[in-house]
């Protein structure tokens, strides 16, 4: 057997695959959430909230994920200028994710068969995962009162992968471990959102979640989530 030295223009592709738990301290499930009142009161609090696994003042506190609301019309937050309608932190969030995920400022988000003008963004802290999120491993529980919704990605139900500008895209459906409980797993308002594993982001469809567990926007989204 003979060997050839690598030339400067050569590159090596590794077939190694490493998986690990997502949350701090190697925890596979996150059920307790804390925010920082300092961050919430600061300038960034108008755009998103950072979520910790313990009190933010604790020495072991680390950001697990953020949560933000995006609305195409700018609803849900105070306008930057009262004389300019529709321009607010929520419209900025919507525009930023539309550019990053879709790469087109004239395209809207379509969750399953439902075109939405808003979403809840849940970007996972980059330090929590390696190359990307592992499709089929997501189990997200949303609870309001006696109503509970179990959400997963549909990676085990699809025969081909859909791509957007940010990489792979899977629909969020009613189910567990990457498969819908029955049918498509959609609600009356389409799918429950998207899982974007290559950038570590979940986009939740507020209309679908609202129809399933009776959510209204006077309810804190943070109080609903177990992931």
Q: Domains of the chain: which residue ranges?
A: 28-226
Q: What percent of the chain has pLDDT over 90?
A: 71
At 187, is the secondary structure helix, strand, or coil? strand
Residue 218's pLDDT band, with cuts at 50, 70 and 90, is: very low
Q: What is the pLDDT of residues 130-158, one digit of tens each?
A: 889 999 999 999 988 899 999 999 999 99
pLDDT of residue 19: 76
Average model confidence (pLDDT) across the chain: 89
**Dihedral over Cα of 141, 210, 80, 91: its sign:** positive
Q: What is the pLDDT of residues 87-97, one digit of tens each?
A: 999 999 999 99
pLDDT of residue 14: 61
Retrieve residue 176's tokens.
């567990």
**For residue 11, is pLDDT > 70?**
no
DSSP E strand stretches across 136-212: 140-144, 147-153, 162-164, 167-176, 179-180, 193-196, 201-204
Can you give 53-99 as a three-state secondary structure string? CCCCCCCCCCEEEEEEEEECCCCCCCCCCCCCCCCCHHHHHHHHHHH
Distances (CA, A) of 143 to 50, 187, 223: 20, 16, 8
The pair phi, psi for residue 206, each rounded to 5°, is: -60, -35
Q: What is the pLDDT of residues 152-208, one digit of tens each?
A: 999 999 999 999 999 999 999 999 999 999 999 999 999 999 999 999 999 999 999
pTM: 0.87
pLDDT of residue 8: 67
pLDDT of residue 145: 87
- In angstroms, rounded to a whole number, what is the distance separating the alpha carbons of residues 52 and 32? 8
Q: What is the mean pLDDT of residues 82-86?
A: 88
Residue 114's pLDDT band, with cuts at 50, 70 and 90, is: very high
Cα angle value 188/202/162 (rounded, 5°)? 75
pLDDT of residue 214: 81
Q: Which residue has the tokens 């609600």?
A: 187
């Amino acid at each position: 057997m003979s060997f050839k030295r690598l030339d400067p223009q050569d590159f090596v592709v590794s077939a190694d695959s490493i998986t690990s738990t997502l949350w701090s301290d190697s925890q596979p499930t996150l059920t307790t959430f804390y925010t920082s009142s300092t961050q919430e009161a600061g300038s960034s609090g108008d755009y998103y909230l950072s979520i910790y696994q313990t009190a933010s003042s604790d020495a072991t506190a680390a950001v697990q994920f953020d949560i933000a609301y995006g609305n195409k019309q700018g609803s849900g937050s105070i306008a930057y200028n009262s004389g300019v309608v529709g321009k607010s932190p929520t419209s900025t969030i919507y525009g930023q994710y539309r550019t990053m995920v879709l790469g087109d400022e004239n395209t809207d988000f379509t969750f399953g068969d439902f075109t939405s003008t808003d979403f809840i963004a849940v970007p996972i802290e980059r330090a929590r995962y390696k190359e990307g999120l592992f499709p089929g491993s997501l189990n997200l529980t949303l609870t309001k009162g006696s109503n509970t919704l179990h959400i997963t990605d549909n990676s085990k139900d699809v025969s081909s992968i859909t791509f957007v500008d940010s990489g792979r895209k899977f629909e969020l459906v009613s189910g567990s471990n990457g498969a819908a409980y029955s049918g498509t797993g959609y609600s009356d308002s389409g799918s429950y959102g998207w899982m974007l594993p290559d950038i570590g982001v979940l986009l939740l469809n507020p209309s679908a979640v609202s129809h399933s567990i009776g959510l209204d926007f006077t309810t804190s989204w943070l109080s609903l989530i177990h992931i």
